[in-house]
Each structure stands twice: as structure tokens, then as C-alpha cells.
Structure 1
């Protein structure tokens, strides 16, 4: 049975706050008049209770189960005395009241109508799209409400969803098996077999994660993709089946072992295995393209390093040649006769009469004197040659533009792959290559065959890597390297969305108006700074080089009253263990209800909530199953924790639970004094990793191997987004993704970041998406700043501008830019993938150049404001400091070890969610404890202000116990939630919602 708590089926909570009662159960004069006209005096209260509960629930509850608090409130709304009780219904009286309510609200009864047929028809349609029975139930509920039908009993919906879900699954399984060739079925059967000499079957090889991008592992991954491709055309087998279904089947197969698959019926077993193979093909293509780019980058890096080494060795020869030249000059100075000087020079340069050695030395220095390392690259490339050719045949590479010169060059080197001669007669179109490459690849026809085959191969593979990175080339059947243009919304659909979207984000609706508005904004901002510049002399000045010099921002002083308040709080904070904190949060909101098996059924674990909390604690504190099981008091084994993590706590479920904790935090009043949650700080922090995976890499700032935990932390101290990224990726590409995926009731529209959190492309698309990007940029004086037009001149700041805004490019490609922005906003395309491609230089992509032009203008406007406003600089610095504090706080809770001991990509991402879930729990508990103490201090007569409270922080650790024997018991009496009383002090109203399910309030 699908858990009721995981669905949108409405229920009445046990307790309400006063605000909730007023909002949902207040009566209008017309409603009171109607109640009295439709019922006799003893039944006024009955009819009123049924009316209001039906309006909220959309079905009639058992009137005797309605909470007394709710009945008392409705009694007061009717003006009745407290002695008035609910009357006892006779069988016909309640039905009469129900029919009257349905008629008033225009709702049709579910039973006895065509509602069951409608629900079944809608459930069938949704069952081929949605994966979980709870999702089907939610969709049916939404459709019934939209069609003005009463909701049936939950058991009716559950039985309907269970039956329809089973039927649709069986239909899909039978369809897939029917389409699968017999030889493929036999290969699937062989995957599950083991022989005497092997401990594991070949099925486990399907799930292998990519390793670090070495040449050996590249070869292994190519072999792996070739093996996956041997299973035939899976696209035809899954034709007509939505991608979400395939992903769900693949996830089930990945989480299962051979024994569990053998317990499934044959159609389901083979469908799950084929879905896993299908998804692993896509992932492997992505990983191969990524590894290919990294290997090409490594080849170029090694050639550059060799050139540097050669130049270091040639430095002595260069000094000798300079000394020789100096001797020649001295002869010319001392001897005025040219003939005599020539004789002396010849004797000086070649005492033995042979100039060959000197000429060889000159040739060596000339060959390595510049920065052209390309002639040295072949020796580093040739060991990869066979692998890269295999890869080029295995991946289907296609250009995303009309220019096919690179693909034609690739076809040529593939046709010449088995040749041994270095020079070939073919003339190649090298329009895609730089002049430096052309000089290496070509020679004059008079010297023989014109094209150097070896260097042409290196050139082609180098540009393939470059254009895969920039998006000018794509990989068929890939995700991260797919043609993003095919994923964009059609412009006709964009035109329908455009007016409402532009009104929402505050942008003009046409290209000319957009450019005119932006030009006016740039002109006004520049003129304002120029006018106020003399008054800013204390904060900013222009040095002799024309560069602005800014005074260092000073933090605001902490008043003594805030210090004393913090001291009083720290003395009164109760000591708690991390597990006790998580148990309290579970008692308050039951956030573990989001977890469970992939089937969506009720978990069959003994005491599942405790198991889930222990798993979150073990993984979030980086103890791991083995160490956690040694210290957890109770009958729990490492296998139990590992199994729960693998089968019950999927990545998307962890995200849902994290959002639940954040939503609860946003309901509290104390965090509102720290920030409104509409601004976030973005930053990354390094985590040590096992290095045998694609995510880990060498971080140039931290000078060690690892990955970057990229987070968004709201200005009220809570983390709202988290994701592990490789250290070589520019963090700015995840700025937009973090805001779009937060999915909270409070939407952030401002992002503070550091240098890694900005680029011209990111400035462009954050502006188009209505996001205010405010970075603290290191070496910002080196950035290009655009003046509004060539004729614009300023008295004080004229030397700041080094370029002119390209308004023509922005206006010409405005439609393309808006199409991309609308597609990102609609979730049709991944913003990190797009920004990663548009952030890499592209010679052919006009959208790249337009985004650069727009981003340069937006960044110039920001920098002008940055220079002229000390308050802005203080604001950005203060908010970026919050995320630095959060990073330290979360790592303090990761006390089990310094290294993330996972190589599986999904498990790596889950570890970060676990850690943030533990951190959010501690932050939430600290905040609740602080609110209780503030209420107590107020009753004791303490005087404090909003400003005093704003200096507090929930990142407290002295009261949190991390070590010892860990014990978790949910059957103990829960601690009380904060009372609904209002604390009236200078700090304002510190109201907290009562403990209830947040789903009802969020839906409302």
C-alpha cells in the first residue's frame, strides 16, 4: 500500500495554530446565514463543521473524528455557547447535509457518478508517465478536484492506483520483451549466470563506475561501451516509452542484485536489465567524451611542459650565442675597415673553418625559442592514437552548425588510419584550425605531398575536444554532450510565454526595447558614478595607471548588548547529541516519510524511521556503515545500514527531505531577523576524495586531489542547494541551476558569490532569468568594461572603459538569447550543461558571442555600482562570509573521516546530501533552542533589539556532542514544540508554527 503521508490526500492535523484556524475555517456572513437556513437549531454546528472540513478536505470526514480544537473554533464563529455539542445524526439527516454542501459548492459525489470511470481513465494515462503509485494517486486527486468531484476514500484511490500501475507495468514489460530479439534474451540470461571460478556474474559489470581519466581506464571504458553496444538497437525496443520510465527501471536494476532479479518474473527481469543497459550506454558516452577531453588536454599539457624543459636546457646555448654576437659587435666597433672586419669575424666564428656546429645551435634555439609546442606533440599523442581512433568510430560525432569541415577532416584521417607514410597528397580544408596548426600540418607543394598525416590527426582530435567542450560538436545518444539546440523550446511556444515571462522578471518584450533599456541603464549608471566620484575619494581613487583603488571593506561593529546576549544564550543552550537532535526533528515533522523502497510501498523494515535516521547519521557524519555500526547502541549491522542507503534513500528522496527541513526552518520567526531567504551566497569548498573516479581531480588552489562541494546558503544561514562538481569546472555554471532546483516556498532572486561564481555568460543569463548576480571578484580591474558608445566620455572615470558595448550583436541575437532563457526556466535544458558550453570559446557559435556581449554590459553595470557603493561591497562581503562559516560548520559535523570513500557518482552526491541534512537538523534544533531561551530571557526582563538578535548565528557547536556510544530511541516521550504564545519584545514577534504536517500548508 502506498503510504498516505507521501500523497497529497488531505487529512486533518491534530493541532492548529490560530492563524491556520482563521485562514481555513473562518465563516462569512453569507455562510452563517446559509447554515442556519439549511439546518435546524440542534444541527447548526454539525452542518458548519461538515461544510468547513469539506472545503478543506474535499471529502466528508467522520464528524466524531474532527479535532475538538476545530469544533470549538467553529462553534465560536457561529456565536454558540460552549455547552453546545455536536448533535447525533440519524442516517438520513447526515446525507441531507452532505447533498446540501455538494450543491452549494458545485461538487459531484464520487460514488454513484462517472467519477470512477474518469479516475480510472486518468490513472491509466498517467501510469505510463509516472513511476510511483503515490504520484498516480496525487495526479488523480488533482484531476478530480479540477473536474469538481468529491474525493473518495483513500483506500479506493490506493486500490485503483495499485491495479492500474500493475497493469501498465505488465503491459510495458510484455511490450519490451516482445520487441527484444531472441539472441539478446539469451545474452541477458547469460549475464545472470556465474560459474565455479567467478564470485560475481557479468551483471555487476554493467554497473561499473568510470575511473580516473588515465589512458588505461580510457581503454577499459571504450571496451565497456563496445560491449554495451553489442546488445543491439535498444532505442527501437524502448520506442514510445517515456524516458522517466526507462530511468526508473534502470534505477531499480542498479539497486538490485542477481538474486533479487531472479525473483522477478521474466518480462520484468529482462526489461529492468535492458533499461539499465540503455541508461549505462548514455552515461558511458558522456564519460567517454569527458575522458577524451581530459586526455587531449593532458597531451597538450605534456607537450608544453617538454617545451619548457627544452627551453630551460637551451638557455645556456642562448647565452653562448649572445656572447658570440657581442664578440662580433666588438670587432665591428674596433675595426672600421669592412674587409678587415669580415676577415676577423670569420676567424672569430669559425677558427677551424667549419660553421656547421654554430648553425645547428642556432637552428635548435630557433625551433624552441617561441611558445609553439605543437611540433613536440606527436610523441605524446602516438601512444593514444589507436584508442582515439577506436573512440572516434564508436561515438557518433556530429556538428551542431552547418560547418562540416572538421567532420570531413575526421573522415579523412579515419580513411588514412592504416597508412604508414607521414605525408599524404590529400588537400584538407583547415578552416577550423588556427594559423599555428596550419603551419605544422601543411607544407608547400614544391616540397612534396602537402599534408602531414601525423599532425593532421593530432589537430583534428584536438579540435574535436575543443568543440565538444564549446557545444559546436555533439555526441549522438549522449546527455551532457547532446545538441542542446534540439532541446530548446520552439520559438512559437516561446512567443506564447514571452509576455507573461517578461512581465514577471521585468524585461522589455522586444529586441529594440531591450537594447534601449539596457543602454539607458548603462549610461545612467556610468554618469551617476562620474558625478559622485569626487565625494567617494575616501573609498575609491584612480591611480596613475588609470586603475581604481578601493579601500578595504570593514565589518560592522558588534555592540556590547549583542555580545552579552550571545553569552547568555551560550550559557543556557542545552547539550544534545546529533542523533537526539535528528530524533527531535523526526518527531516534529516526520521527514523520514519521504524515504522507502523504489516501488513506493510501505517499507518492510523493522522500525524504519530509526533505521533511516541511523543511516543518515552514519553517512552524513562520514562514519560509514562499519564504523557507525560499531558505535550505534542497538541491533544494527553494517549490512543493514548499507542496504538502507542503497535501496531506500535515493538521491531525489534525500532532496525532498532536505527541502522539508528547509521549509520548516523558513516558518520560524527568528531566521527572518537574519534574512528573508530571498538571497543566497554561492561558493564551493574542497573535499578529499578517492581519486579513482571522474569527479575527483587536482585542485590548483588547495593543491591536492578532491572534488568541490558547491552550495547555495540563504542569507538566513540555511543551505538550500548542494552538488559535488569537479575542481576544474567553473563554479559559476551552477548558479542558475541552484536557484531553479531549490523549489522552495521562498524563491531567491539574488546570488552573492566570489570570483568563481561569475563570468560574462553567467551575467547574461542571470539577467535574462531575473536573477541579480552580485559577486566579489578578485582582480576585477583586469576585466573589460564597456562604455555605452564610442563617443561617451567622462570626467573622472573615463579610463575605466576599455571597450564599447556591442548593441548590434545583442539586438540581432535577442530572440536566441530569450529562447535559451525560456527553455532553462521551463526545465527543458540543463543550465550547467548550457553555461559550460557557452562559457567555452567558440569560433562558430553566434549565441556565444551574443551572450559574451550581453554579459559584458551587465557586468560593467555591476562593477560601476560596486565601485561607487561602499554599502554594496559590505553587503556582498557579509553574505559571502556566511557560506564560508557554513562550510566550516558542515565539515565539523563530518567528523568520521576526511575522505569521501566513494567512487560511484550517485553515492558521491548522496554523501553531500546526507551531510547537509545533518547540518540542517542541527541548525534547526539550535534555532528552536535559541527561540526558547529568548522567550525565557524576555520573561526574566532582558532588553534586546532586533539588531542584537541579528548578530546571532545558528552555527553553534559547543552544545553539540559528536562522540561516544550513539543511541537512538524514538519511542521515548518527545520534547514539546514551541508554544503558540507570542513573545512581544523589541526583537519582534517570534512566532513558530505548531507541529503539523507541512504538506497541507505548502499546498495552501
Structure 2
């Protein structure tokens, strides 16, 4: 049972009704108190406590207060004597409940098979449904072991019947193809997942092994395209029908897919016939969607590469023989003067002696490097690269991808792709005259002269290769903003499927969920009033604000005084030394182990197989060692020593069968919530609702689509985006591409963080904010508080036309007024997109629709206007409040401190993510998050243990407590021998 309840929960579940107070429960105060404790406990749990420890102290105190009986008397009430037995019988009779018998098991199992398991197999959900069934039947809940036995039996029976039903729906050809694929031998396993690069056979129709189908795409290249085509062809050859899987909930399909991915071919061959065929079929059926996404991702990258590489090559060639010319104006003046004075002179005699020929050559080359001639040269190089190499991907793309669009404006691109598909096998330089080719929305104006060439007869003809390049470039732009989508894909699939289909029918419910007014005028009037008040406040306070000055002219019109540097409190260093004295060289593995003892981290990990055979102590050790090896980046082999009984294969088994992204997030959430619960408010203050988010670059292997070159930090790698609350507890982490939107990552963390914390404020740097980000933060109900690097160039927008005169002191930084009419027109659509994000749709999938490539989208324009209004309100507060600027700066310093600790823990392999598999990359990041969260949790307990001593509590000043952080590691040793003694504990307090 839960140990803590809110006041509302105590009143709801543990309050005695007037009728209950009249129940004769014995004359003795002890028996009366014991009776009512058992009664309320049974009403809450549908069972009786077995030991006194099952009953929270707060419950006994609450019931004792209602009965005017001293709660301490409950210690004299025995749960195993005749009085307690009579009380249990009386309570059953009073509530009309009977004890469970063995005959109740089969009806319960039959009900689970018929009503519950077709919709979900999640253990907590199924057990909650069992509790409801028992309460409806007026049956006392049996022991947890019996319930688990019933659930396991029902799952086993349901699974067998499901497998048989799905097997009957698979054609004989499909079964034979699956057998043939599983007979192919997989490569040797590395850390339980196979090698990082899967060698593909020659030809796109050659059979692939199961492991090769499981492999991720390589880096963007033609070879990777051919590999993805080979995977699609192999799955197509399996002839898996669609119908059997459409009736199964998507979440349950993902459970079956996860189970299949934990096996290799040899293990799948050992499964019974129904399970083997069904698991492989459902995996490949779902895997096709992921392969399509990878295929599209490769195409988008390759199309971009053609253009970028051409520009770089031309720039390099031009820069090799070109130097920037200084003093061009003076040089041209001399040429003009000499020409006027010597109109009949010879250039070599008059001009070259004064202005050397080499200088004039440099001027010509400089013009070519930046003018129209530069684009012409770039296109020539791009055409050569495409026609000689990259054009091989075009027929693969046309044969395997079906493009769609829900917007008529982009139909010309779809029609152009159909024409390319029709004539893909024909050989001609120019399209025939009878082909109706669309140029608008396909060929940019700057390429018209290149695509349209004049023939011998004087008529314009369309160059086929140049047209293909323009089609691919337009396709890339529309795929990125999801105006064009791919049939059957997930990430690049139909964007309308992300939006709530019942929005119009349940409009009021969606508005209520977001706490927004259903009428656009009410929403607009509130924001307009806030804008006017914020602008007026800043205007009135500006003369007295010595930290902010406005310039009348220039681009940089806001001059903001830097914040004063704050000194480190003098007692914090002494506190770190004291902790190091009490717990010197504490092993990081021991910290993880102590967290396991106190929180039960490993309880979050369930087997992917249909049953679990490992004993809990053995599984506990294997999981802890595996989590440590992954979180420190040392790998599984490095944590296996002669002093521990676990072998490398044992850890590989634990990783493959138990460690997944979902379970790691559950474990992290458990540690984070335990940290919040363990905090002493006198030391750490009351719970906060603010967090800071920022990214950190990690080096990584580059034979994958996740790794990219970082334009700010340099080098190839990936980004990890952290959300850290103000006392150094990280509530969410994400693995992202270097080019991914930090605004989307910020919103994803706020919406999907794995903790009980309510996020009302989010601090970000300049890259974590945008006008669209401000708009969605307003719709989703949290404050976006950025630290803007380019604060000097910011502008404030007006709440209405003609209102600039109301704010004369802000005139240098005032811009136009907000278009409220556009916001009112698109209000429903904006709320619809916000509801989609709030209900689980990936934020990046939504925000990709609102980029500069899609600037004319009416909803995007409305979001821009709403975002500018929200940003204006924020800027007024930011400029007017020194306290707010300090708050944002301190919050971002916390996440910077979190980033500094990453390299201390993630030290293996030089801190580089040494794998090309996306899933393994994500596991490494989440294990790092788990280890660092465990460090914060144990440090919180250690600091509180030290501060219980009076001399330390008196010694710390308010500024010490303000700067106190549990993210310290002077006393931690992440290296050394890996000894795991389950009988040894960290002595934080008496056990």
C-alpha cells in the first residue's frame, strides 16, 4: 500500500461515515480502533493486512482522531489472534464479501481472456482490472501470488489462441518464406545485438538474414539506399497480409515486436510453430514502416548532399585562385579618371601601369563567386554529380515509395513524380513535347533558365536531368515540412493521422484539457490586455531602470547591463570535504546498488520473453552490472571480472531480454520521484515547478543516420537534450540529431517527462526558443523563459494599430501591431495541433510542419503572430525585472553543471557513443541518465545526513542553502574493481 496520501485522498478513502461510526466494534478502545482500521483498509485494498507494517502510520492516526482514541493503542492490537479473526468475519458479513476460493480462478481467467487481454497485456493495467472484477463479484482479493498466477495463466492461454488465430491467417507461401529466411545464419553477436554494420549480399533481391532486416540504415550513401531497398524486397517476398494485424491494438503489436527483436535466428527456430511464424510476421510487418522512414531519411540527406557538396566544391575551387580585393572603390575611381583623361589611349599603356591586371582579375573572380555566375557553376557541378552517380537512386525511389499530399498546392510535385515514374525506363535528353510538365511549384525561378533550353527550331524544351534535380529538391523541402508524405511510413506518414480525428465532436473537451477558452475573442482579449499592461509597465519603469538603456538608431538598440558575478558560498567546499571524509572513494556501482536497495530500480525491468525463469537475486545482479556497463560506456565485457559469478553471456542475455527504452524511462522516473520524496524542505526548500533545458554534444560513430556534423561545436556526433530542475534532478533526456529542433526537444521534455513534477516554467538558451515555441508554450500552459543571446536586436510588438503613442519611451524598439484577426481565424487549428502534442504526438513531428519552407501555411502564420505577442510579454518582464534575469541565469547554470558531470560518468571509449545502432545509442544515454540520477539521489541522502548534525546546520547560511547542489562527485570513484557485495550497504543512517 502507498505510504503517503494527500489531504483530499485521506478524506476520500479514510474517513468514517456516520453509519460506520454506529457499528458495534467492541467495548475496548483497542479492539474498536483495530476493527475500524481493518474495515477502512479492506475498503481500500479489498483484502486484509498480513502484518502491522502494511498499514501506514498516517492512516492509523487519522482513524484514531475520528474515534477520539490514541493511535498508539493500535500497537497492542494483534492481527493474528481470535479477536482480529472475528473482526475480519464481521467485516466480510457487513460488506457482503466472501473469501476467494480455488473455484473462482477459472471464471476470472476466462473473463480476462475475453474482455481484458484483447486490449492490453500490461501487468499493472491487467491487475487493476482484476481488482475491479473481484470488487464487482464481492470477492475478497486473494494473495498477490495467486493473482499473478491467474494473470500468467490467462496470458498464456490467450497468447496460444492468438498465435493460432494469426497463424491460420498467414498463407502457406508466407510460412515457407519465413522458414527460408530463418535458415540463413546470422553474423556473430557483439554485446548481444550483432555487429554494427550488416554486410548485405550483392543484388537487391538476394535473400537477407533476420539480423540484416533488423539492422539500422548506414550513413547517407547510395549503398545505404540499396540496402534499404533490399530489406523492403525481402519483406515483400514474405507476402505478409495486412488484415490479421489491424484488429490488434498498436501497443500490443509493439510488445510482440519487442519480444521478437530480443531473439536471433537460432532462438526463433527453436520456438514452437505458431509463435515462430507469428512473431517474425508481426515484426517484419511493423519493421517495413521503419525501413520506409529510413529510406526517406536517406533520400532527404542525399538530395541535400548533392547541393551542398556542389557549393563547397565550387567555393573551394574559386577560393584557391581568388583573394578578396580591398579598396575596390578607389581602384574603380582611378580607372574612371584615367579613362576620362585618355579616351583614345590603349588599356595596357594607360590603366595597367596604375591598376595592375592581377587586381582586375581578382575583382572579376570576386564578382563571379557571389553573383548569378556562381549559381550557374554550382548547378553544372551538381548536374555532373547527379547524372554520373546519384541518379541511380531515382528508380529505386519511384518503385518503392508512394508519395501523397493532402494539400492541392503541392500536387504539381506529385504529378511531376508520376511523370518521372512513367518515363523512368526511357532514354532521352529532353521531354517530348506532348508531355504536360508542370513548372510552377516545382522549378524555382532561379533555375528556369537552366531547365528550359532553346532548341534548334527556336522552341523551348525541358532538360530532363535538370528537371529531375528540381523535382527532387522540391520533394525534399515538402517532405521535411510534411506537406508531402509517404504511404505506409510512420515518421514520414500521413500528418493528418497525428491530429485528433474527433476534434470537432469533442471540441469542448479538448479546450478543457488545455484549460483554454472555447471562444477565440476571450483568448485574444486576455493576451492583448497582458501585452498592454506589460508594455505600459516597462514604459513607466524604464527611466528608473539603470540596467536597461535604449538606443535611438542602429541594429543593436537594447543595451542590457550584465549581471553581477556571485561568489561561491564559503561553506559549500567544506561540506564537500566532510562528505568525502565520511564516504571516501564511494564506488559508482555501489551508489547504483544502494539506489536499488532503497528504490527498487530493477523492478521496472520485465522480460521480453513469454515467461521468466531467472531468480530475482541473479537477475538483480545482472541488471545492475549491465546498467553500469552501459551507463559508463565501458561496455559489458569490461565489468565482467573473475570475482563475480556473472559471465559476459549472462549480461548479454539480461540486456537483450530486459533492458529497453521504456523500462529505463520507468526506472529513471522511479529514482527521480524518490529523490523528490526524500528531500528535506528545510534544506532544499519547497518543491519547484521550474526546470532548465539544454543540449550537449557527444562524439559518436558515423555509419548511421543519427550522427551529424555540428555546425557550432564542430565534429561529428549526436546531441543529448536534458531537462533539469533547479536542484539538479534531471527529469527527462532525449537523443537527438545535431540539426534537430531544440524547440521541439524542449516541448517534448515538458510534456513527456518521467516524474511527478508539474512543469510550469522552462528556462532555455537562444536555440531553445522561437516564435512558434512561444505560441505553443502559451497554448500548452507553461512559461517559456529564454536567455536571449541577441537581446540587443529584439523588438516589441504592439497590441493594436495606433497604440505606439502610449509607449513613447519604448519607441526605438517598437515594431508593428499583432494581426489578431489571423489568430482568431486559425484559433481552432492551433488548439488542434496543441492537443495532438498534449495527447502523445511527437513534438518534432508537429513542429516540422511549421518551418520557413512552409511560411505561407495559414496556421503557421497565426502561430507566428501569437508567438510574437507572447514573446513581447516575456521581453517586457525580462527587461523590467533583474530578479527574473537572475532566475533564468541560475536555472541554466544548473543544467550546465549537469552537463559537466556527464563526462565524469560516461568516461568509457573516450566518451564517444561507440555504436551505429539507434537503439543502443538511446540505451547508453538513458543508462547514463539513470546513473547520474542515482548519484543525485544518494548524494541528497548523504548531504541530509551530514546536515542533521547541529554544528553543520548552524554553520550553513542562507546563501549556502541557496547554492547547495546534490550533483557533487569529489567522493565518488567511477573506476577501479567492480565488486558487487549485496550484503554491504552504504551507512547513511542506522538500518
The reply to whether residue 732 of structure 1 matches residue 769 of structure 2 is no
Q: Given the alignment, which residue of 394, 413, 416 partners 1:406?
A: 413
Between 1:234-243 and 1:180-189, the stretch displaced more is 234-243
Which moves more between the two structures, 18-27 or 959-968?
A: 18-27
CA contact (8 A) 2:939 2:968 kept: yes
TM-score (ref. length: structure 1): 0.86
Distance 1:746 1:41, change over 3 A: closer
Q: Residue 277 of structure 1 aligns with which residue?
A: 284
Aligned with residue 589 of structure 2, among 560, 574, 579 = 579
TM-superposed deviation, 1:323: 12
> In the alignment, what sits opposite 2:44?
56
Higher alpha-carbon deviation: 131-140 or 115-124: 115-124
Match of 1:933 among 943, 946, 949: 946
Pairs aligned (count)? 945
Q: 1:868 aligns with which of 880, 888, 909?
A: 880
1:377 aligns with 2:371: no
Which residues of 2 match residues 102-117 of structure 1 at below 5 A?
102=95, 117=107
Task: Describe the SS at the equivalent of 1:837.
Answer: coil
Q: Residue 839 in 1 paired to residue 851 in 2?
A: yes
Q: Which residue of the partner structure matches residue 893 of structure 1?
A: 905
2:868 alignment partner, one of 831, 849, 856: 856
- Cα displacement (A) at 1:960: 0.9
Which moved further from structure 2: 415-424 or 556-565? 556-565
Secondary structure of 1:710's partner? Answer: strand
Structure 1 residues 922 and 324: CA distance shift in structure 2, 3 A: closer
Instruction: Sort the Cα spacing of 1:145 and 1:749 in 2 relative to 1 into closer, same or farther, 3 A.
Output: farther
- Distance of 1:146 and 1:396 partners within structure 2: 51
Aligned to 2:814: 801
Deviation string 1:325-364 (CA, Å, 9 cap, x unpaired) is 889745651257xxxx4x96899999xxxxxxx99x9999
- What pairs up with 1:498-537 in 2 under 5 angstroms? 498-503=510-515, 507-537=516-546
Whole-angstrom distance in 2 between the partners of 1:25 and 1:851: 45
Q: Give the corresponding residue for 1:830.
A: 842
SS in 2 for 1:549: strand
Which residue of the partner structure matches residue 170 of structure 1?
160
Q: 1:151 aligns with which of 122, 135, 141?
A: 141
Shift of the 197–643 alpha-carbon distance from structure 1 to 2, 3 Å rule, reads closer
Once the two structures are TM-superposed, the CA of residue 881 in structure 1 deviates from its matched residue by 0.7
Residue 459 (structure 2) aligned to one of 435, 448, 463: 448
Q: Residue 724 of structure 2 contacts residue 732 of structure 2 at CA under 8 Å; is this kept in 1?
A: yes
1:894-930: CA deviation from partner (whole Å, max 9, x where unpaired):
2223222122111111111111111111111111011
Give the Cα separation in 1 of the matches to 2:427 and 2:83: 99
Aligned to 1:746: 757
Where do 5+ consecutive residues of structure 2 fail to align? 195-207, 353-359
Q: CA deviation at 1:768?
A: 0.5
Quote the residue 2:355 is aligned against: none
Give the C-alpha shift of residue 229 in structure 1.
2.6
Is residue 392 of structure 1 aligned with residue 398 of structure 2? yes
SS of aligned partner of 1:848: helix
Shift of the 602–272 alpha-carbon distance from structure 1 to 2, 3 Å rule, reads: closer
- Rounded Cα–Cα distance in structure 1 between residues aligned with 2:174 and 2:303: 36
Report how far residue 694 of structure 1 moved. Answer: 1.2
Please tell me whether the aligned partners of residues 751 and 772 of structure 1 are also in contact (alpha carbons under 8 angstroms). Answer: yes
Deviation at 1:213, TM superposition (A): 1.2
SS of the aligned residue for 1:130 comes to: coil
Task: Specify which of 628, 634, 643 is matched with residue 633 of structure 1.
Answer: 643
Q: Choose which of 912, 920, 931 in structure 1 pairs with 2:925.
A: 912
Residues 795 and 95 from structure 1, CA distance in 2 versus in 1: closer, same or farther, beyond 3 angstroms?
closer
Moved more, 697-706 or 46-55: 46-55
How far does residue 120 in structure 1 lie from its aligned partner after superposition? 4.3
Q: 2:482 touches 2:492 (CA, 8 Å); kept in 1?
A: yes
Instruction: Tell me how far 1:738 sits from its aligned partner.
Output: 0.9
- Work out whether residues 216 and 704 of structure 2, in 8 Å CA contact, stay in contact via their aligned partners in 1: yes
Tell which deviates more after alignment, 661-670 or 194-203: 194-203
Between stretches 741-750 and 184-193, larger displacement belongs to: 741-750
**Pair 1:860–1:215, CA change in 2 (3 A):** farther
* Offset of residue 684 of structure 1: 0.8
Structure 1 residue 308: Cα displacement: 2.2
| Secondary structure class of the residue paired with 2:698 | strand
Aligned to 1:128: 118
Q: Secondary structure at the match of 1:48?
A: helix
Cα drift, residue 88 of structure 1: 3.5
Aligned-residue offset at 1:253: 1.2
- Provide the residue aligned with 2:239 in structure 1: 232
1:988 is matched with: none
Alpha-carbon separation, structure 2, partners of 1:94 and 1:738: 50
What is aligned with 2:968?
956
Whole-angstrom CA distance in 1 between matches of 2:401 and 2:560: 52
CA distances 1:392-418 after superposition (whole Å, capped 9, x unpaired): 321111113123111011112222333
Distance 2:728 2:313 in 1: 48
The answer to whether the 8 A contact 1:314-1:365 is kept is no
1:136-285 equivalences under 5 Å are: 136-142=126-132, 144=134, 150-194=140-184, 202-285=209-292
2:713 matches 1:702 = yes
After TM superposition, the structure 1 stretch with the greater mean CA deviation from structure 2, 410-419 or 950-959, is 410-419
1:779 paired with 2:767, answer: no
2:667 pairs with one of 657, 667, 678: 657
Change (3 A) 1:487 1:87: closer
Whether 1:432 and 2:441 are equivalent positions in the alignment is: yes
Change in CA separation of 1:29 and 1:233 when aligned onto 2, cut-off 3 Å: closer
How far off is 1:798 after superposition? 1.9
Determine the C-alpha separation between the residues in 2 that align with 1:945 and 1:315.
64
Q: 1:489-504 residue pairs with structure 2 within 5 A?
A: 489=500, 490-503=502-515
TM superposition shift of 1:473:
0.7
**Separation in structure 2 between the aligned mates of residue 304 and residue 470 of structure 1, nearest angstrom:** 24
Task: Give the CA deviation at 1:101.
Answer: 4.2
Query: How many angstroms apart in 1 are the aligned matches of 2:14 and 2:186?
Result: 73
8 Å Cα contact 1:687/1:706 also seen in 2: yes
- Structure 1 unaligned regions, length at least 5: 1-9, 351-357, 980-994, 996-1004
Q: Distance in 1 between matches of 2:366 and 2:29?
A: 110
Q: Give the TM-score, by structure 2 length.
A: 0.87
Residue among 717, 724, 740 paired with 2:728: 717
- Are 2:503 and 2:510, in contact at CA under 8 Å, matched by a contact in 1? no
